[in-house]
Structure 1
Amino acid sequence: MQVLTRYLIRTLLPPFGFALFALSCLMSTGFVLFGLIEESARFEYSLGLMLQIVWLRLPEMLGYTLPMAMLMGTLLAVSRLSDDHEVLALRSSGMSLWQMLWPLLAFSLLITGLALGLKEWVAAPATWQARQLLHAAQHDDIKLARHQRHLLMKEMGPEGLRSLIYAANASGQNLEQVVIQRFEQQTLQTVIQARQAHFEGQTWRFYDGHMLQLNHNAPASVHFKTYILPLPDTITTLLNEARGPEEMNQQELAAFIKTLDASGQDTRALKLRWHQKWALPMTAPVFCLWGAGMGLRSLRGAGQGLGITLLLILIYYLLMSIGTALGDRGELPPWLGAWSPVLISSMLGLGLISWRNQH
């Protein structure tokens, strides 16, 4: 069995390497390089910067193409074994198709681990660095500010709601057209309105506004030019955090989701992206099943294998798009929206292999 395992892995490695190279070139060209070329006419990117961006985005592309390469590599390897009647010889010796596939599935699990590690420790910081470089080239400034319109957040405490904060515009450490409602024991006590607010240290400084104090006697309104008020750190974190889910690793994204939850924000989409960080690498063994099942039929060459690979990938990403849309709208739990394409594809792959094994 060890001899067979080594032979199957040696058979798989050349087409897997070819598939990884071809698909990585396609992904990097289509999703990175073409976009840079279009933007270069406007921002006059240098050739060195464009090459640096492509290099920094390469780990992200590899995170996607490793499972795809597993599909195409398995498809071509099994097709070659089938064309040379080696599959028939092994089946004639009493070996089931499942026994033949175990070495390939074990290799696909290694690819899953590699893709997870690549996306977690390399791709996320590299993608963030690439975005910073592009922003610097476009704005002559390496700082990437986060801008939000109609920002609405709430602060919760042990006794319940503490504050409701609204700003017409929020950018970096500044708020414009601010309204804050402060509560004590679930009762509205203070309303603050200000033209602008700016973060200084652990406090916010409000400019040109008024404060309405509510009590059981008579409300009191006070106008101010400046007013200093401590606000929770969660608000500062929200305004300063400019990275997207693909630019954060799992730990950073989980911490950001926790911050948003504490501020009353809708985190369904981010929770779904967190689950997808696990689900996408797990497509490698699923694609291995698909590739083996489809590879048992004769292929006319690597070109046909690439075409079948792209078709199967399109089917999978159609399932993923449907799951993502349903999860974002709340019609599916975030975990199910992320994992449903993997579960459905796994059942299809297992069914295909079982059918091939019986015929």
Structure 2
Amino acid sequence: MPGISAGGTLARYFSARFLAAMVAMFLICCVLIFFVDFIEILRRSGKYSNEASGFLLVWITLLRLPSFSELTLPFAVLIGTIVIFLMLSRTSELVVLRAAGVSVWQFTLPALVVAFLLGIGFVTVYNPIAASARGEAERLYSAAFGKDDSFLQSAGKSGAWLREDGADGPSVVHALRVLNQGLELRGVSVFQYNAKHELTERIEAKRAVLNNGRWDLEQAWVSAPGREPVLHESYLLSTYLTPTQVRDTLGTVYSISFWDLPNFIEIAERAGLPATQYRVQYQLLLSRPFLLVTMVLIAATCSLQSFRFGNVQINAVFGLAAGFGFSSLPEVSRNFAMSGLTSAVAAAWIPVIVAMSLALTVLLYKEDG
């Protein structure tokens, strides 16, 4: 029983040290990101608007901070783990533990568990908060700087295109401008089809506003095959999209909560929009806990050797370089998936599995021969 008690105490001690270091590094990253992003928003404020108050700019920066800082979590785990291993090495604690018969896996396991649980917490709790804050930040940003942004907006200069299946049948909607995070369209053209995909009517409207279950069109010219165009001051067009769904999915993929991604993937597919980037984001979030575990293993392979063979600085730099290099692989894989060269699952999981396998192999070779 004393051995079990000592083992539990040791695990709690290491877990607390690793958690404190990871959180400290994450907070440092948050501070750096805040100042960099605030300077960028100040620059844009001077370029696009003179009416935004300093408080509003700070508030927008704070709302954007969780989304940006979430991307730095793997680096925080990597650096925090390296720092703790080097500190334990410097104070000879690891030397004493190894002399007492404690294996490398016993004092690495707490870091692995902490990283895995931290990843789960960030994906399931922190990410939804960050996504919600990012959506609010983009709303305020749009209001302050007049930026048109919506998930409906296309990358080209020809306006926004949307294909959807409403209660009235399939329709294709084109808008010259997208305002109010996709809730309002200007210069609207609608091509309405029946179940046989035959054109039933064409609508040219000055403005369209999204409400629950419908688009409210203003000053709409409605024409149908064999009939003259008729002007309607107001005209209703059914849609399955709701204002809440549009607001929740405005802007970048980072403004979509982990819990909302599956539903949004379905919505995007029904709307005829490409859902690859959302599938990749969902898989990347699912693999996040294992990514953090891999970061711990990379840190261990490079920093545990220092207390036995020296070369602390060289090993630490090598560990940082390896970690930063690995962290870029998911983004490279994301681009491959977006290009259709690989699936979303492969793009998210193959880099993690390969890096984890390599780190485990190196660690096993160094410690167990």
Same fold (TM over 0.5): yes
Q: Flag the 1:200–1:105 CA change in 2: closer, same or farther, 3 A.
A: closer
Q: Secondary structure at the match of 1:341?
A: helix
1:182 paired to 2:182: no
Partner of residue 109, structure 1 = 116
Residues 1-359 of structure 1 correspond to what in structure 2 (within 5 A)? 1-13=7-19, 15-30=21-36, 32-42=37-47, 43-44=49-50, 45-139=52-146, 148=153, 149-155=159-165, 162-169=169-176, 171=178, 172-174=183-185, 176=187, 178-184=189-195, 186=196, 188=198, 190-194=200-204, 196=206, 198-199=208-209, 202=214, 204-205=216-217, 207-212=220-225, 220-226=226-232, 228=235, 230-234=237-241, 241-298=249-306, 310-359=320-369
For residues 205 and 8 of structure 2, what CA distance do their matches in structure 1 show?
74
Q: What code does the residue aligned with 1:325 have?
A: N
Read off the aligned partner of 1:136 and give its amino acid letter: A
Deviations 1:82-137 (A, max 9, x none): 34444344334443322221122122123213322443342122222222333333
Query: Quick check: 2:82–2:316 contact (8 Å CA) kept in 1?
Result: no
CA distance in 1, matches of 2:215, 2:66: 40
* Structure 1 residue 229: Cα displacement: 5.2
**Amino acid across the alignment from 1:8:** F
> Aligned in 2, Cα 1:193/1:40: closer, same or farther, shift over 3 Å?
closer
Secondary structure in 2 aligned to 1:222?
Answer: coil
Query: Given residue 280 of structure 2, which amino acid in structure 1 is its aligned partner?
Result: L
Aligned-partner residue type, residue 176 of structure 1: G
Q: CA deviation at 1:75?
A: 0.9
1:234 match: secondary structure:
coil
CA shift for structure 1 position 257: 2.0
How far apart, CA to CA, are the structure 2 residues paired with 1:203 and 1:130?
25
Which stretch of the first structure deviates more once superposed, 53-62 or 143-152? 143-152
Structure 2 residue ranges without an equivalent (≥5): 1-6, 154-158
CA deviation string 1:196-245 (max 9, x = no partner): 46358635546234211xxxxxxx33321228454222387786652432
CA contact (8 A) 1:77 1:295 kept: no
> How many angstroms does 1:264 deviate by?
1.9
Matched-pair identity in %: 19
Change (3 A) 1:195 1:112: closer
> What is the alpha-carbon distance in structure 2 between the residues aligned to residue 192 and residue 289 of structure 1?
60
Q: Distance in 1 between matches of 2:62 and 2:246?
A: 29
The two structures, once aligned, show a CA RMSD in angstroms of: 3.5
Whichever residue aligns with residue 257 of structure 2, its letter is: N
Shift of 1:174: 3.2
Any conservation in 2 of the 1:177–1:196 contact (CA below 8 Å)?
yes
The answer to whether the Cα contact below 8 Å between 1:209 and 1:224 also exists between their aligned partners in 2 is yes
The code of the aligned residue for 1:264 comes to G
> SS at 1:277's partner residue?
helix
Q: Cα offset for 1:153?
A: 0.8
| Contact persistence 1:15–1:73 (CA under 8 A) | yes
Q: Secondary structure at the match of 2:32?
A: helix
Structure 1 residue 292 displacement after superposition? 1.4
Instruction: Quickly say closer, same or farther: Cα 1:147–1:321, change in 2 above 3 A.
Output: closer
Deviation at 1:313, TM superposition (A): 4.1
Say whether the 8 Å CA contact 2:187–2:207 is kept in structure 1. yes
- Give the distance between the partners of 1:77 and 1:195, measured in 2 at CA: 63
Contact 2:115 2:289 in 1 (8 A): no
Cα distance in 2, alignment partners of residues 166 and 188 from structure 1: 16
Whichever residue aligns with residue 327 of structure 2, its letter is: Y
Residue by residue over 1:32-58, the C-alpha shift from the partner in whole angstroms, topping out at 9 and shown as x without a partner, is 123123224323454433332333333
Q: What is the TM-score of this pair, normalised by structure 1?
A: 0.80
Residue identity matched to 1:37: L
Structure-2 separation of matches of 1:239 and 1:9: 42
1:250 is paired with a residue of what secondary structure? Answer: coil
Identify the residue that residue 216 of structure 1 maps to in structure 2: none
**Alpha-carbon shift at residue 178 of structure 1 (Å):** 1.9
- Aligned position for 1:217: none
